[in-house]
A and B are shown apart, each in its own frame.
Chain A
Amino acid sequence: MKSETITQRILTADDGMRLTNGESVVTTVVLPVEADASVWSEITEEKAQEILKKEEESNV
């Protein structure tokens, strides 16, 4: 039998908000125990849409 204990930190954006690390725009982040959570910040849905729109336009 293999038994492991995995410690995680889960960040969840508040309603109407999203999380970003400058590259990804998401609502949930599951961090390993050693990771620095401060690279993720909360932004408004409006700001998130702006980032996603720019990303979409850069690929057209």
Chain B
Amino acid sequence: MTIAKKLAAIAENEQKVFDAGKQSEYDRFWDSAQNFGNRVGYICSFAGYCWNDDTYNPKYPITATENSNYLFWNARITNTKVPIYVSTTGSNNSNTFASCSYLVTIPLLVAAEKTTFYSSFNGCTAMENITFEGTIGNAISFNNSSKLTNKSVQSIIDHLKDLTGANTQTLTLHANVGANLTDEQKASVTAKNWTLAY
């Protein structure tokens, strides 16, 4: 191949080479940051205003099953993008999304019976959409989330643990959201021995 042809080939593939390098750097960063999807402790991992929709692009689900304290505290992301598995220990998951005032959507949050939600959603003033999987077994509050959709609230209600015969726990919603619940939804909450506050 002549030098001229080589140069022509390089010019033709310039974008592809750039994209491949970019992908390689992306993979290298997130494979390391998330231990190839095996990381389980995520304390403060994406906390702070430097994390936004441009900088936060995880490659794997966030499996913070060991520690999710302050995971996204004060981050300026609008969408958590991947499934989030919060701590199952019952003690290492406070303030997980606290002060995320830009956060609109949590596409999937997987909780376990022991998961606690101390101040987890405080300051989530823009939150509209959240979908749960698993079990909500402890008190949970969305008191700052006035835009939370009814579909999201239904997802929360559907995953409340049935506490019949046990101590009641409290589901707290913003006054506007609570006022828009149907009688059937309110009954679904109390039928599981949960207290609804708004």
Residues of A within 8 A of B (CB): 4, 6, 8, 19, 21, 23-36, 55-56, 58-60
Q: What total count of A-B pairs have CB within 8 Å? A: 75
Q: Which of B14-22, B51-59, B127-135, B183-191 contacts A (4 or more CB under 8 A)?
A: B183-191
Contact of A24 among B99, B143, B179, B194 (CB under 8 A): B143
Cα distance, A23 to B117, chains bound together (Å): 12
Contact: A4 with B195, CB < 8 Å? no
Q: How many residues of B contact A (CB 8 A)?
A: 29
Judge if B168 is at the interface, Cβ distance under 8 Å: yes
- Taken together as a complex, chains A and B put the C-alpha atoms of A48 and B95 apart, in Å, by 21
Residues on B facing A (Cβ under 8 Å): 73-74, 95, 98-99, 119, 122-123, 139, 141, 143, 168, 170, 172, 175, 178-179, 186-187, 189-198
Contact B191 A6 (CB under 8 A): yes
Which residues of B sit under 8 angstroms from A58, Cβ to Cβ? 119
Query: Are A59 and B95 in contact, with the CB atoms below 8 A?
Result: yes
Say yes or no: B186 contacts A8, CB within 8 Å.
yes
Are A55 and B122 within 8 A (Cβ)?
A: yes
- Out of B99, B139, B195, name the residue touching A30 (CB < 8 Å): B195
Q: Are A27 and B168 in contact (CB under 8 A)?
A: no
Q: How far is the CA of A19 from the CA of B198 in the complex (A)?
A: 9
A34 vs B167: C-alpha distance when bound (angstroms): 9
Distance in angstroms from A24 CB to nearest chain B CB is 4
Among B99, B172, B191, point to the contact of A26 (Cβ < 8 A): B172
Which 8 pairs, one residue from A and one from B, show the smallest C-beta to C-beta distance? A32-B190, A30-B196, A35-B168, A24-B172, A6-B187, A26-B197, A59-B99, A32-B193
Q: Which of B179, B187, B195 has the most CB of A within 10 A?
A: B195
